Structure 1
Protein backbone atom coordinates (compact mmCIF):
# COMPACT_ATOMS: atom_id res chain seq x y z
CA UNK A 1 0.00 0.00 0.00
CA UNK A 2 1.27 3.45 -0.88
CA UNK A 3 2.08 6.03 1.77
CA UNK A 4 0.34 8.63 -0.40
CA UNK A 5 -2.98 6.82 0.08
CA UNK A 6 -2.64 7.18 3.85
CA UNK A 7 -1.93 10.87 4.49
CA UNK A 8 -2.36 10.50 8.27
CA UNK A 9 0.37 7.82 8.38
CA UNK A 10 2.61 10.03 6.25
CA UNK A 11 2.09 12.95 8.65
CA UNK A 12 2.77 10.71 11.65
CA UNK A 13 6.03 9.47 10.12
CA UNK A 14 7.13 13.00 9.26
CA UNK A 15 6.41 14.11 12.83
CA UNK A 16 8.56 11.38 14.40
CA UNK A 17 11.72 12.47 16.19
CA UNK A 18 14.76 12.54 13.90
CA UNK A 19 16.45 9.63 15.65
CA UNK A 20 13.42 7.35 15.11
CA UNK A 21 13.14 8.43 11.47
CA UNK A 22 16.81 7.56 10.96
CA UNK A 23 16.29 4.08 12.44
CA UNK A 24 13.25 3.48 10.25
CA UNK A 25 15.06 4.72 7.16
CA UNK A 26 18.01 2.41 7.74
CA UNK A 27 15.68 -0.57 8.33
CA UNK A 28 13.67 0.17 5.19
CA UNK A 29 16.72 0.73 2.99
CA UNK A 30 18.26 -2.56 4.11
CA UNK A 31 15.19 -4.45 2.85
CA UNK A 32 15.55 -3.22 -0.74
CA UNK A 33 18.79 -4.36 -2.40
CA UNK A 34 18.36 -2.12 -5.44
CA UNK A 35 17.76 0.92 -3.25
CA UNK A 36 20.89 0.07 -1.29
CA UNK A 37 22.92 -0.10 -4.51
CA UNK A 38 21.46 3.20 -5.73
CA UNK A 39 22.18 4.96 -2.46
CA UNK A 40 25.69 3.53 -2.29
CA UNK A 41 26.37 4.83 -5.78
CA UNK A 42 24.83 8.26 -5.18
CA UNK A 43 26.33 8.86 -1.76
CA UNK A 44 29.68 7.07 -1.76
CA UNK A 45 30.94 6.84 -5.33
CA UNK A 46 32.43 9.32 -7.80
CA UNK A 47 33.28 9.49 -11.53
CA UNK A 48 36.17 7.04 -11.17
CA UNK A 49 33.83 4.52 -9.60
CA UNK A 50 31.39 5.02 -12.46
CA UNK A 51 34.17 4.38 -14.95
CA UNK A 52 35.07 1.20 -13.06
CA UNK A 53 31.43 0.08 -13.07
CA UNK A 54 31.16 0.69 -16.81
CA UNK A 55 34.36 -1.22 -17.53
CA UNK A 56 33.24 -4.05 -15.25
CA UNK A 57 29.90 -4.28 -17.06
CA UNK A 58 31.60 -4.32 -20.44
CA UNK A 59 33.95 -7.04 -19.27
CA UNK A 60 31.03 -9.09 -17.93
CA UNK A 61 29.27 -8.81 -21.29
CA UNK A 62 32.44 -9.83 -23.16
CA UNK A 63 32.83 -12.77 -20.81
CA UNK A 64 29.20 -13.73 -21.34
CA UNK A 65 29.78 -14.02 -25.07
CA UNK A 66 33.15 -15.66 -24.61
CA UNK A 67 31.74 -18.48 -22.49
CA UNK A 68 28.78 -18.88 -24.84
CA UNK A 69 31.09 -19.64 -27.77
CA UNK A 70 31.13 -23.30 -26.77
CA UNK A 71 27.48 -23.59 -25.72
CA UNK A 72 25.80 -21.81 -28.63
CA UNK A 73 26.49 -22.68 -32.23
CA UNK A 74 25.49 -20.65 -35.28
CA UNK A 75 23.30 -23.55 -36.39
CA UNK A 76 19.50 -23.16 -36.45
CA UNK A 77 18.60 -25.70 -33.78
CA UNK A 78 16.18 -25.50 -30.88
CA UNK A 79 18.85 -25.47 -28.15
CA UNK A 80 20.85 -22.73 -29.85
CA UNK A 81 17.81 -20.46 -30.05
CA UNK A 82 16.99 -21.08 -26.38
CA UNK A 83 20.58 -20.56 -25.22
CA UNK A 84 20.98 -17.34 -27.20
CA UNK A 85 17.75 -15.95 -25.83
CA UNK A 86 18.88 -16.82 -22.29
CA UNK A 87 22.23 -15.12 -22.94
CA UNK A 88 20.51 -11.98 -24.25
CA UNK A 89 18.17 -11.90 -21.26
CA UNK A 90 21.08 -12.25 -18.86
CA UNK A 91 23.01 -9.48 -20.59
CA UNK A 92 19.95 -7.23 -20.65
CA UNK A 93 19.43 -7.81 -16.95
CA UNK A 94 23.00 -6.78 -16.21
CA UNK A 95 22.54 -3.61 -18.28
CA UNK A 96 19.17 -2.85 -16.65
CA UNK A 97 20.69 -3.09 -13.18
CA UNK A 98 23.60 -0.86 -14.21
CA UNK A 99 21.19 1.77 -15.55
CA UNK A 100 18.96 1.66 -12.46
CA UNK A 101 21.95 2.16 -10.18
CA UNK A 102 23.97 4.72 -12.15
CA UNK A 103 21.36 6.45 -14.35
CA UNK A 104 24.14 6.71 -16.96
CA UNK A 105 22.35 6.73 -20.32
CA UNK A 106 25.45 6.70 -22.52
CA UNK A 107 27.00 3.56 -21.04
CA UNK A 108 23.59 1.90 -21.01
CA UNK A 109 23.21 2.55 -24.75
CA UNK A 110 26.78 1.55 -25.49
CA UNK A 111 26.23 -1.80 -23.76
CA UNK A 112 22.79 -2.43 -25.30
CA UNK A 113 24.23 -1.82 -28.74
CA UNK A 114 27.19 -4.07 -27.97
CA UNK A 115 24.88 -6.88 -26.82
CA UNK A 116 22.81 -6.82 -30.01
CA UNK A 117 25.79 -6.30 -32.29
CA UNK A 118 27.65 -9.28 -30.83
CA UNK A 119 24.60 -11.51 -31.07
CA UNK A 120 24.02 -10.54 -34.70
CA UNK A 121 27.67 -10.93 -35.69
CA UNK A 122 28.30 -14.22 -33.87
CA UNK A 123 24.99 -15.95 -34.57
CA UNK A 124 23.49 -14.55 -37.80
CA UNK A 125 21.87 -17.87 -38.78
CA UNK A 126 19.78 -17.85 -35.61
CA UNK A 127 17.97 -14.70 -36.72
CA UNK A 128 16.88 -16.01 -40.12
CA UNK A 129 13.31 -17.17 -40.71
CA UNK A 130 12.57 -20.58 -39.19
CA UNK A 131 9.62 -22.80 -38.39
CA UNK A 132 11.04 -23.64 -34.97
CA UNK A 133 8.97 -22.05 -32.21
CA UNK A 134 12.09 -21.15 -30.20
CA UNK A 135 13.33 -19.12 -33.20
CA UNK A 136 10.06 -17.20 -33.24
CA UNK A 137 10.36 -16.47 -29.50
CA UNK A 138 13.96 -15.31 -29.97
CA UNK A 139 12.92 -12.98 -32.80
CA UNK A 140 10.06 -11.53 -30.76
CA UNK A 141 12.46 -10.90 -27.89
CA UNK A 142 15.08 -9.31 -30.14
CA UNK A 143 12.46 -7.13 -31.83
CA UNK A 144 11.47 -5.80 -28.40
CA UNK A 145 15.16 -5.15 -27.52
CA UNK A 146 15.64 -3.38 -30.85
CA UNK A 147 12.62 -1.18 -30.26
CA UNK A 148 13.77 -0.29 -26.74
CA UNK A 149 17.31 0.38 -27.91
CA UNK A 150 16.17 2.51 -30.85
CA UNK A 151 13.82 4.57 -28.66
CA UNK A 152 16.52 5.19 -26.04
CA UNK A 153 19.08 5.98 -28.74
CA UNK A 154 16.75 8.58 -30.26
CA UNK A 155 16.45 10.28 -26.85
CA UNK A 156 20.22 10.65 -26.44
CA UNK A 157 21.88 13.98 -27.12
CA UNK A 158 23.05 14.21 -30.73
CA UNK A 159 26.72 14.37 -29.70
CA UNK A 160 26.35 11.08 -27.83
CA UNK A 161 24.42 9.59 -30.74
CA UNK A 162 27.28 10.51 -33.04
CA UNK A 163 29.73 8.43 -31.00
CA UNK A 164 27.46 5.35 -31.16
CA UNK A 165 26.05 5.86 -34.63
CA UNK A 166 28.26 3.41 -36.58
CA UNK A 167 27.45 0.42 -34.37
CA UNK A 168 23.79 1.41 -34.16
CA UNK A 169 23.62 1.57 -37.95
CA UNK A 170 25.16 -1.93 -38.24
CA UNK A 171 22.48 -3.28 -35.92
CA UNK A 172 19.69 -1.57 -37.83
CA UNK A 173 21.02 -2.71 -41.21
CA UNK A 174 21.16 -6.31 -40.01
CA UNK A 175 17.68 -6.06 -38.49
CA UNK A 176 16.18 -4.59 -41.66
CA UNK A 177 17.87 -7.20 -43.84
CA UNK A 178 16.33 -10.02 -41.78
CA UNK A 179 12.96 -8.25 -41.32
CA UNK A 180 13.36 -7.89 -37.57
CA UNK A 181 12.14 -4.29 -37.79
Structure 2
Protein backbone atom coordinates (compact mmCIF):
# COMPACT_ATOMS: atom_id res chain seq x y z
CA UNK A 1 0.00 0.00 0.00
CA UNK A 2 1.36 3.41 -0.96
CA UNK A 3 0.50 6.71 0.74
CA UNK A 4 0.20 8.63 -2.53
CA UNK A 5 -2.66 6.32 -3.52
CA UNK A 6 -4.44 7.03 -0.23
CA UNK A 7 -4.31 10.77 0.39
CA UNK A 8 -6.93 10.51 3.16
CA UNK A 9 -4.65 8.19 5.14
CA UNK A 10 -1.72 10.55 4.65
CA UNK A 11 -3.81 13.48 5.94
CA UNK A 12 -4.97 11.43 8.94
CA UNK A 13 -1.38 10.53 9.84
CA UNK A 14 -0.29 14.16 9.53
CA UNK A 15 -3.12 15.21 11.90
CA UNK A 16 -1.97 12.79 14.60
CA UNK A 17 -0.41 14.32 17.72
CA UNK A 18 3.39 14.56 17.55
CA UNK A 19 3.86 11.95 20.26
CA UNK A 20 1.77 9.39 18.31
CA UNK A 21 3.65 10.14 15.08
CA UNK A 22 6.96 9.62 16.88
CA UNK A 23 5.84 6.22 18.21
CA UNK A 24 4.68 5.13 14.76
CA UNK A 25 7.88 6.37 13.14
CA UNK A 26 10.10 4.45 15.55
CA UNK A 27 8.05 1.27 15.03
CA UNK A 28 8.22 1.58 11.24
CA UNK A 29 11.95 2.27 11.20
CA UNK A 30 12.52 -0.91 13.21
CA UNK A 31 10.83 -2.97 10.49
CA UNK A 32 13.12 -1.84 7.65
CA UNK A 33 16.80 -2.74 8.15
CA UNK A 34 18.02 -0.66 5.22
CA UNK A 35 16.14 2.40 6.43
CA UNK A 36 17.62 1.88 9.88
CA UNK A 37 21.14 1.74 8.42
CA UNK A 38 20.53 4.84 6.29
CA UNK A 39 19.19 6.83 9.24
CA UNK A 40 22.04 5.69 11.47
CA UNK A 41 24.54 6.92 8.88
CA UNK A 42 22.75 10.23 8.24
CA UNK A 43 22.06 11.09 11.86
CA UNK A 44 24.91 9.58 13.85
CA UNK A 45 27.97 9.36 11.59
CA UNK A 46 30.41 11.87 10.08
CA UNK A 47 33.24 11.98 7.51
CA UNK A 48 35.55 9.91 9.72
CA UNK A 49 32.91 7.19 9.89
CA UNK A 50 32.48 7.37 6.11
CA UNK A 51 36.22 6.83 5.64
CA UNK A 52 36.03 3.86 8.02
CA UNK A 53 33.07 2.45 6.09
CA UNK A 54 34.96 2.79 2.80
CA UNK A 55 38.02 1.06 4.24
CA UNK A 56 35.81 -1.68 5.67
CA UNK A 57 34.13 -2.19 2.30
CA UNK A 58 37.47 -2.34 0.50
CA UNK A 59 38.67 -4.90 3.05
CA UNK A 60 35.52 -7.01 2.56
CA UNK A 61 35.97 -6.90 -1.21
CA UNK A 62 39.63 -7.79 -0.94
CA UNK A 63 38.82 -10.73 1.34
CA UNK A 64 36.04 -11.90 -0.97
CA UNK A 65 38.34 -11.81 -4.00
CA UNK A 66 41.21 -13.45 -2.09
CA UNK A 67 38.94 -16.24 -0.88
CA UNK A 68 37.77 -16.78 -4.44
CA UNK A 69 41.26 -17.98 -5.40
CA UNK A 70 40.42 -21.32 -3.78
CA UNK A 71 37.23 -21.74 -5.81
CA UNK A 72 37.96 -19.97 -9.09
CA UNK A 73 40.76 -21.05 -11.36
CA UNK A 74 41.99 -19.14 -14.38
CA UNK A 75 40.88 -22.07 -16.53
CA UNK A 76 37.98 -21.86 -18.99
CA UNK A 77 35.78 -24.49 -17.32
CA UNK A 78 32.13 -24.36 -16.25
CA UNK A 79 32.80 -24.17 -12.50
CA UNK A 80 35.26 -21.28 -12.84
CA UNK A 81 32.83 -19.18 -14.87
CA UNK A 82 30.00 -19.91 -12.47
CA UNK A 83 32.04 -19.19 -9.33
CA UNK A 84 33.52 -15.95 -10.66
CA UNK A 85 30.06 -14.78 -11.66
CA UNK A 86 28.83 -15.50 -8.12
CA UNK A 87 31.79 -13.66 -6.58
CA UNK A 88 31.26 -10.60 -8.77
CA UNK A 89 27.56 -10.53 -7.94
CA UNK A 90 28.29 -10.80 -4.22
CA UNK A 91 30.85 -7.99 -4.45
CA UNK A 92 28.36 -5.87 -6.37
CA UNK A 93 25.78 -6.47 -3.66
CA UNK A 94 28.17 -5.21 -0.99
CA UNK A 95 28.84 -2.07 -3.03
CA UNK A 96 25.12 -1.54 -3.69
CA UNK A 97 24.38 -1.66 0.04
CA UNK A 98 27.23 0.77 0.77
CA UNK A 99 25.93 3.20 -1.86
CA UNK A 100 22.33 3.00 -0.62
CA UNK A 101 23.44 3.81 2.91
CA UNK A 102 26.09 6.48 2.27
CA UNK A 103 25.07 7.92 -1.13
CA UNK A 104 28.82 8.29 -1.77
CA UNK A 105 29.27 8.04 -5.55
CA UNK A 106 33.06 8.32 -5.51
CA UNK A 107 33.64 5.28 -3.28
CA UNK A 108 30.98 3.33 -5.18
CA UNK A 109 32.72 3.93 -8.53
CA UNK A 110 36.16 3.32 -7.03
CA UNK A 111 35.13 -0.02 -5.54
CA UNK A 112 33.37 -1.13 -8.72
CA UNK A 113 36.48 -0.30 -10.74
CA UNK A 114 38.64 -2.14 -8.20
CA UNK A 115 36.66 -5.38 -8.39
CA UNK A 116 36.53 -5.30 -12.18
CA UNK A 117 40.26 -4.63 -12.46
CA UNK A 118 41.03 -7.35 -9.92
CA UNK A 119 38.84 -9.90 -11.74
CA UNK A 120 40.40 -8.99 -15.09
CA UNK A 121 43.95 -9.32 -13.71
CA UNK A 122 43.39 -12.57 -11.82
CA UNK A 123 41.20 -14.38 -14.34
CA UNK A 124 41.91 -13.03 -17.85
CA UNK A 125 41.24 -16.40 -19.54
CA UNK A 126 37.66 -16.42 -18.23
CA UNK A 127 36.88 -13.36 -20.35
CA UNK A 128 38.01 -14.89 -23.62
CA UNK A 129 35.51 -16.30 -26.08
CA UNK A 130 33.78 -19.55 -25.15
CA UNK A 131 30.73 -21.49 -26.25
CA UNK A 132 29.79 -22.45 -22.69
CA UNK A 133 26.54 -20.92 -21.46
CA UNK A 134 28.12 -20.01 -18.11
CA UNK A 135 30.89 -18.15 -19.95
CA UNK A 136 28.35 -16.16 -21.96
CA UNK A 137 26.41 -15.37 -18.79
CA UNK A 138 29.58 -14.13 -17.04
CA UNK A 139 30.54 -12.08 -20.08
CA UNK A 140 27.10 -10.44 -20.35
CA UNK A 141 27.04 -9.67 -16.62
CA UNK A 142 30.53 -8.18 -16.76
CA UNK A 143 29.66 -6.19 -19.87
CA UNK A 144 26.75 -4.63 -17.98
CA UNK A 145 28.90 -3.88 -14.93
CA UNK A 146 31.58 -2.25 -17.08
CA UNK A 147 29.04 -0.09 -18.93
CA UNK A 148 27.29 1.03 -15.72
CA UNK A 149 30.56 1.71 -13.91
CA UNK A 150 32.08 3.72 -16.76
CA UNK A 151 28.86 5.75 -17.07
CA UNK A 152 28.95 6.53 -13.35
CA UNK A 153 32.65 7.36 -13.61
CA UNK A 154 31.98 9.82 -16.42
CA UNK A 155 29.29 11.57 -14.33
CA UNK A 156 31.75 12.28 -11.50
CA UNK A 157 33.33 15.71 -11.19
CA UNK A 158 36.51 15.99 -13.27
CA UNK A 159 38.70 16.25 -10.14
CA UNK A 160 37.28 12.96 -8.86
CA UNK A 161 37.66 11.42 -12.32
CA UNK A 162 41.33 12.42 -12.23
CA UNK A 163 41.79 10.43 -9.00
CA UNK A 164 40.31 7.32 -10.62
CA UNK A 165 41.62 7.74 -14.17
CA UNK A 166 44.31 5.08 -13.93
CA UNK A 167 41.83 2.48 -12.64
CA UNK A 168 39.17 3.45 -15.18
CA UNK A 169 41.64 3.33 -18.06
CA UNK A 170 42.85 -0.15 -17.04
CA UNK A 171 39.26 -1.44 -16.89
CA UNK A 172 38.33 0.21 -20.20
CA UNK A 173 41.42 -1.12 -21.95
CA UNK A 174 40.82 -4.71 -20.86
CA UNK A 175 37.08 -4.46 -21.58
CA UNK A 176 37.70 -3.18 -25.10
CA UNK A 177 40.32 -5.86 -25.74
CA UNK A 178 37.93 -8.62 -24.64
CA UNK A 179 34.89 -6.96 -26.26
CA UNK A 180 33.21 -6.23 -22.93
CA UNK A 181 32.70 -2.53 -23.60
TM value normalised by structure 2: 0.99
Partner residue, 2:3: 3
Deviates more, 1:62-71 or 1:93-102: 62-71
Find the counterpart in structure 1 of residue 82 from structure 2.
Answer: 82
Q: Structure 1 residue runs of 4+, over 4 Å off? A: none
Offset, 1:130: 0.1
Deviation at 1:116, TM superposition (A): 0.2
Give the length in aligned residue pairs. 181
User: Does 2:139 match 1:132?
Assistant: no
Q: For the aligned residues, what is the CA RMSD?
A: 0.5
Alignment partners' CA distance in 2, 1:154 and 1:46: 27
CA distance in 2, matches of 1:174, 1:147: 13
Is 1:174 equivalent to 2:170 in the alignment?
A: no
Unpaired stretches in structure 1, ≥5 consecutive residues:
none
Verify: 1:161 aligned to 2:142, yes or no: no
1:17-56 superposed matches below 5 A: 17-56=17-56
Q: Distance in 1 between matches of 2:180 and 2:105?
A: 24
Q: Which consecutive unaligned segments of at least 5 residues does structure 2 have?
A: none
Q: What is the distance in 1 between the residues matched to 2:49 and 2:22? A: 27
1:70 is matched with 70
1:107 is the counterpart of 2:130:
no
Q: Deviations over 1:13-54 (max 9, x none)?
A: 000001110010011111110000000000001111111100
**Deviation of 1:122 (Å):** 0.2
Matching residue of 1:91:
91
Distance 2:16 2:62 in 1: 49
CA displacement at 1:179 relative to structure 2 = 0.9
Distance 2:7 2:162 in 1: 48
Instruction: Find the aligned partners of 1:90 and 1:180 in 2 and give their Cα distance.
Output: 20
Q: Counterparts of 1:96 and 1:169 in 2: how far apart (Å)? A: 22
Deviation at 1:63, TM superposition (A): 0.4
CA distance in 1 between counterparts of 2:90 and 2:12 reads: 42
